[in-house]
Structure formats: C-alpha cells, structure tokens
Structure 1
Amino acid sequence: MQEIDSKYSKAIGNVRELEERGCIVIYGVDAKQMSQHFFLSTQRFDRIVYNFPHVGFLFREDSYCQIQLNKRLVKGFLQNAKLVLRKEGGEIHITHKEGHPYNKWDLVRKAHKIGLLLTQTLPFRKDDYPGYDNKRAHGTLSDASFHLGHCTTYKFRLPPC
C-alpha cells in the first residue's frame, strides 16, 4: 500500500471507500498472470475491467517496440481474464484510446484469436464516471492525468457453449 500511496494522492481514500462498500482490494497483481494468483485463480468474475492498459513509456509511443510491448500486455491480460471470467454472462471491458498508434494494438483481433466475442463498443466519456481520474501510472508523473481524446470501451464475452 505504501508504494501506491506514494504514487497516487487519493489512493488511501479510494481504497477505504471501496472496502467500506464491501470490495476486496488486492495489490500487486500482474494483469498478464492474474489467473495464477493464489486468490484470483479460485474466483470467477462477472466483470473484469481494464481502463487504458499501457506498459509505460519505454520508447516513443508510436515506435515498433512500444507497440509490441503494449500488444503483449493486452494479449496477456485477455488470456488471463478469460480464465477467471464467469462463463454465463461474464464480460471483459477494455477502455482504449483510438487513433494512431493505438489502433496498431489490434485489440479486437487479439480478443477474437483468444476466443472472445466482441459484444459492444461504447464511447468512453469520463463524465459518466463521477470521481474517476485517469492516471499515468508510471514514472515521476504517475499521479498526473493524461489527455484522453477519443476513447472506446470494448466489451467481450465467451462464446456460448
């Protein structure tokens, strides 16, 4: 918790509010390996949400290496989310920036190859989520917001049996 508190000014308050509402908050989970987590592997979830997946800025945003790293993150997340998703009615939501270079991540195609069905796309409007603040997550500016621009929430599910 100390690492999260040092990166995000509202972290402790947000965690307390979630816990007061009955949520279980777990730290340090790798999205690409969550299906092997000792607790998460025993659960099945109705909704698994990943807003703005990103590996951090290791290279220029539009460089081949940066795009490949982000594609690997998204693929690993989808593969793992599929394993802990409730089979009946479960959904995986990914909110993602649109346009160059984000369209090169091939989000929908990756999900399809993994065996997930795209059920809906919705424009993401931050104002629809009171209290939500998008954060950078990496580096010295981790508590700073980033420009959202045009964003979409993609909803996926497992195919019917």
Structure 2
Amino acid sequence: MASVGDLTTLGLQPNAAGEAPSVLIVGDGNFSFARAFLRKNAVAIGDSSIRVVATSLDTHEELLTMYPNAGGILDELHNGGVKVIHGINATRLETYDALVPESFDRIVFNFPHFAEGGNRRNKIHRHRQLLCDFFKSSTNVLKGEGQVWVTLCAGQGGTSVDPKQRAWGDTWQVVHCAAGAGLILESVHNCPVDELSALGYYSVGYQLRERAFWTQDSLSHVFCRERIGRRAQLPIEWDRDMSFWINDHFSEERLIDLLREFFPPEDMAVALTKLDDYHCSKTNRNAVTYRLHITSDIVALSKDDVNARATSALAAVEASEFADSRAS
C-alpha cells in the first residue's frame, strides 16, 4: 500500500529501483502551491531526491500580467530546483515534448475550474468535462503505481465524506469522472489549508482574477489506477434497472448465476432488489423488474462500462431458457 500523506508531502518515497520520485503540478495559477511544496521539501528537491515540474496554462507574459506577484515566486522556484514550464494545458499533457519522455509518480491539480468566459457563471457540466479530460490525459504521463491528486472546494466533489453535502446533480462527481480514465479513489482527506498558507500558498484565479477561492474544508482526492492491488476508500456505485418477461423456469438464483458472467464477483458486487411483478392478463405472461446495485472497490466502473455490461446482461437474460421471448 502506497503512503498517502497530504498535499505538503504527497507521501513520496523512493521507488523500488531507488529512483527519485517525480511530481508534476498542473494549473498552478500563480505557482504559489509549487512554492509551498518547495519550502516544505527544500532539501530533498535541492539535492534532486525529489524532482518537481510545475506548470501553468498561461504563458509567462500572461502570468505576470494576471498575477503581478508571480515573478518573485518563479525566481524562488528556479533557485530551489523546481522546473517551470508555461503554456501547458492539463487536458493535453501527452502532447507536450517536455513532458512525454517522463512519467510521474504524482500529478497534482488544485482547485481545477473551467475558466473560459471570464466572470460568467459557468455550467457545472463544463467543470466535469474538464475533470474527465484531465484524468484521461494524466494517465498518459503517470507511472504505473503513481497517484493523481485533485483538490476541490467543499461541496464540489460529490462524495459521502464531503463536509458540504449537495444534491448529486449539483456536484462535479469527481469519482465518476476519474472512473472514465480507469482510476479509483484511493483516499480522500482534508486539505492542510493552514499549513499550506503558512508555507506561502494562496489560491487565485477566481473569475480569472487574482482573487482567492474559498479553500476552508476543501478535500484532496487521491486516485490510482485500477487493478494494481489497492482498494478504493469509497467504492464507486451504480444502479441499473432491468425488466423482462419470464416463464416457469425462472428463479432469482438462476438470474444471479447468469449475471456473474457480466459482473464478475471477484471484481464487483451486485445486489438485486425486486421492484415489480407484472402479469399481463391479455397474453397471460409474467414480467419482473429488478434493480441492480453495482459496486466495486478495485475496478473503475465508468458509466459507459456499466451501461455496456447491463445491456449485454439483459440481452443474455432475454435469450435464456427462463425468459419468455414470445412476441406480445
């Protein structure tokens, strides 16, 4: 089990080959997080025991225009041994020659937000799409057992441990966004806001200005690849309903046996709940409706994956000897 740590340390340890762990920081705005991380780990970064690459979406000129205080931060990073690259889009990491030759043990994205349109109120689906695109891109430059760290404001993530609970549709659904890239939520914990602040970090970029986000009670979400021997702190969950006609050969036990082919018990758990029994007096046929509650703490069950499994399972059920497939 990898050490998790927090945003000030990232739980970094030398790998099995004794190589220095590497960190990629994306979307750092004014680079004050990179500065805070440098100050906390100055000795290790200075002697190359930890390699850090810090990036921004803005060009150098845009950065200094938007964040006038960034110049001094950049000087400190260069002097401390942090490599700085400007003009890096976190959703296209694999397209940059400066990044592709490397792979990273940690990729960090703090308070991501879809900023296009300036101070207009942005649609929540834009933020989700940003996360989906970032997660997919990050796996192209992430080491096999590496971690992706995403810190969100209270209420944004949509997990059960979020201190500010919102309706599911009003959250960024971070776990489900990551699942589309084959990532599971290894850990979620409080962001050490006060310690980071003492180290010189302050969030900026709210409405594309040097204004801070509200970072108190924010959470760091730590993701890793599926099927590498780690389990999700919060297993992903889905519900899918299935209705079909049955004959006298039907039983729940036979249904469960058939579903195992599409939802392997070694990878995931499926709980069945009967929602409805229906009898058609006109055709003298019977139908049932079941809800499948699907969970896994080792497989990144994306929406597309679950839908494909459920569709294939229903087709198999309808073709089975316990289903009544006569035309109505």
TM-score (norm 2): 0.44
**Distance in 2, Cα, partners of 1:98 & 1:109:** 17
2:153 matches 1:97? yes
Match of 1:87 in 2: 144
Equivalent positions of 1:117-132 (< 5 A) are 117-129=184-196, 130-132=199-201
Which deviates the most, 94-103 or 126-135?
94-103
Match of 1:76 in 2: 133
Quick one: higher RCO (CA 8 Å, sep 6+), 1 or 2?
1
User: Larger helix proportion, structure 1 or 2?
Assistant: 1
RMSD across aligned C-alpha pairs, in angstroms?
A: 2.0
CA change 1:84–1:7 in 2 (3 A) is same
Among candidates 88, 96, 113, match of residue 29 of structure 1? 88
3-state SS of paired residue (1:55): coil
Structure 2 gaps, min length 5? 1-59, 156-165, 230-328
Identity %, equivalent residues: 27
Offset, 1:103: 5.5
CA change 1:127–1:4 in 2 (3 A) is same
Equivalent positions of 1:1-150 (< 5 A) are 1-56=60-115, 58=117, 59-61=120-122, 66-88=123-145, 90-99=146-155, 100=166, 104-129=171-196, 130-136=199-205, 138-139=207-208, 142-150=209-217
**Distance in 2, Cα, partners of 1:149 & 1:103:** 19
Q: Name the amino acid aligned to 1:92.
A: V
User: Larger strand proportion, structure 1 or 2?
Assistant: 2
Q: Which has the larger radius of gyration?
A: 2
Q: Name the amino acid aligned to 1:76.
A: D
3-state SS of paired residue (2:84): coil
Equivalent positions of 1:142-161 (< 5 A) are 142-159=209-226, 160=228
CA change 1:23–1:46 in 2 (3 A) is same
**Distance in 2, Cα, partners of 1:26 & 1:138:** 23
Which deviates the most, 50-59 or 19-28?
50-59
Offset, 1:50: 0.3
Aligned residues: 154
TM-score (norm 1): 0.86
Offset, 1:45: 0.6
8 Å contact kept, 2:187–2:223: yes
